[in-house]
Amino acid sequence: RMDPPPPRKRVCADPNPGWTAAPWAGVPHPNLSAGSGPASRATATPPPPPRFGASEDADVRDRSTADASTSERAVAAALEPVAWDAYFDEKLDVRGESDADVFRVYARRGGERVGRRSDRLHDATATETDASRSAAGEKRTETVVLFAHGCAYTALSWATTIANLATRLDSSVVLAAFDARHHGATRVSPREKINDGVDDETSGDDVDVSAERLARDVASVARAVVGHFSRSQTGTKENGSMDSEGRNRNRPPKLVLVGHSMGGAAVARAAATIGDDTNSATRDFDLRGVVVVDVVEGSAMAALRDAEASLARRPSSFATPTDAVAWFVRSGLTTNLESARVSAPSQIVLSNDRFVWIADALQTAPHWRGWFQGLSRLFLSLKCAKLLMLADTDRLDTELTIAQMQGKFQTVLVPNATHAVHEDQPSL
């Protein structure tokens, strides 16, 4: 991948000595204890087969064979792919700026899940009323948190993180992640297809994943998602301007944008554009914060030199999705087996009896530099609350280091994590 190289592991008594409540009031200090949360339970590997002495007794050999078979089945079960609905309440398709661009979104509300919902694909134009939400025990949508993934990842790379966050929130908060163009289940105009599992003569020159294009996608998806989950909430003279909980129906929902790597650059640029809209009367949402995960201009630009060689070393295809899951963990792309089981299968598609990558990351190479150039200054210029999550302090460039010392944004360092910070440590 083109992303910064994995961080060196460090031993530190407190990786976040300067953690304060402002401007992220209510955000808990990261839980750095190992072995807690659903991730630790899912990543547990099956026990090794029992050891035997020198006896050649037939019964011992039979038991050894049976135990080996049981162990193999346990390993296969541990690597079995997990579907999206193990983590999300619904999936929906929303349109971007062009009707030909349809973005796949996975969403769930805060709070504990009562049970899995229907596996059907929701119509984003369907009306969701206050009454239907109340009947389901859901509060009026007050906040939407939209997650954008990195290059070659998908929305489901956020699955375990969103599941952990949801348990700390109530149902007034919607957590949603979307597949970027040319990734996952998102569909773009035929002129821009990369890999839909069939032969395609499309040239990489036709693929527009420029920084500006991705930022516009974030903004358009944000409006669509907010609109879907807040539809029918606006007050009228007939039903009054206050909801049953005493909140102003006319107040737009709050929006927080979260992005990893390529997605981090995209949400920062989208936030800059959204922030230019100062007319509160026409805004679809109130942008409150931006979270950028493990992408810094200086280290990202330096890593581009080795990005193509790194991508060339990854397998071009897999025999089964289970093989992809195993490779994700074995290669260190993520250290969290639970996340790999839901994330890896969403990044591949069956083609000619093999599973190949949906996103051809090398075709996006002409845009890599544009994603990160000027990112530090842009991030610092945002007028909303800003949070930067990093795997290592070496990621900070000079401009960000100075700004961080001046308290211009919040920083969280995540130990024992690779570049896929949110997958490795989803409970933070």
Q: What is the pLDDT of residue 196?
A: 44
Q: What is the pLDDT of residue 310?
A: 87
Q: How confident is the model at residue 82 (pLDDT cuts 50, 70, 90)?
A: very high
Q: What is the pTM of this model?
A: 0.77
CATH class of 87-113+138-189+208-234+250-305+365-424: alpha beta
Q: What is the pLDDT of residue 274?
A: 87
Helices 262-275 and 211-230 pack at an angle, to 10 degrees, of 70
Least confident of 159-168, 171-180, 385-394: 385-394
Q: What is the pLDDT of residue 25?
A: 41
Least confident of 92-96, 135-139, 307-311: 135-139
Highest mean pLDDT among 17-31, 104-118, 158-172, 277-291: 158-172
pLDDT exceeding 70 applies to what percent of the chain? Answer: 67
Q: What is the pLDDT of residue 22?
A: 36
Q: How confident is the model at residue 117 (pLDDT cuts 50, 70, 90)?
A: low
Mean pLDDT computed over 332-353? 96
Mean pLDDT computed over 297-324? 91
282, 168 in Cβ contact below 8 A? no
Q: What is the pLDDT of residue 240?
A: 47
Q: What is the pLDDT of residue 248?
A: 56
247, 142 in Cβ contact below 8 A? yes
| Residue with more model confidence, 238 or 347 | 347
pLDDT above 60 (res 218): yes
Least confident of 197-211, 218-232, 348-362, 391-405: 197-211
Q: How confident is the model at residue 136 (pLDDT cuts 50, 70, 90)?
A: low
List the domain boundaries for the chain.
Answer: 87-113+138-189+208-234+250-305+365-424
Mean pLDDT computed over 221-225? 96
> In 3D, which of 57, 230, 226 has the Cα closest to residue 140?
230
Catalytic residues: 261, 294, 419
Q: How confident is the model at residue 265 (pLDDT cuts 50, 70, 90)?
A: very high
pLDDT above 60 (res 426): yes
Mean pLDDT computed over 239-251? 56
Q: What is the pLDDT of residue 305?
A: 84
- In terms of phi and psi (left: phi > 0; alpha: psi -120 to 50; beta: otherwise), the region of 374 is left
424, 30 in Cβ contact below 8 A? no
pLDDT above 60 (res 87): yes
Least confident of 8-12, 252-256, 308-312, 424-428: 8-12
Specify the residue for token string 């994330």: 343
Neighbours of 234 (CB within 10 A): 12
Q: How confident is the model at residue 208 (pLDDT cuts 50, 70, 90)?
A: confident
| Residue with more model confidence, 43 or 215 | 215
In tens, the pLDDT along 355-402 reads: 999 999 999 999 999 999 999 999 999 999 999 999 876 778 888 989
410, β-bridge pairs: 387
pLDDT above 50 (res 124): yes
Q: How confident is the model at residue 157 (pLDDT cuts 50, 70, 90)?
A: very high
Q: What is the C-alpha separation between 368 and 262, in angstroms, rounded?
A: 9
What are residue 385's phi and psi, to 5 degrees?
-65, 145
> The dihedral of CA 298, 302, 308, 313: what is its sign?
negative
Q: What is the C-alpha separation between 109 and 381, in angstroms, rounded?
A: 31
Q: What is the C-alpha separation between 300 and 261, in angstroms, rounded?
A: 9
Mean pLDDT computed over 333-360? 96
Q: How confident is the model at residue 93 (pLDDT cuts 50, 70, 90)?
A: very high
pLDDT above 60 (res 191): no
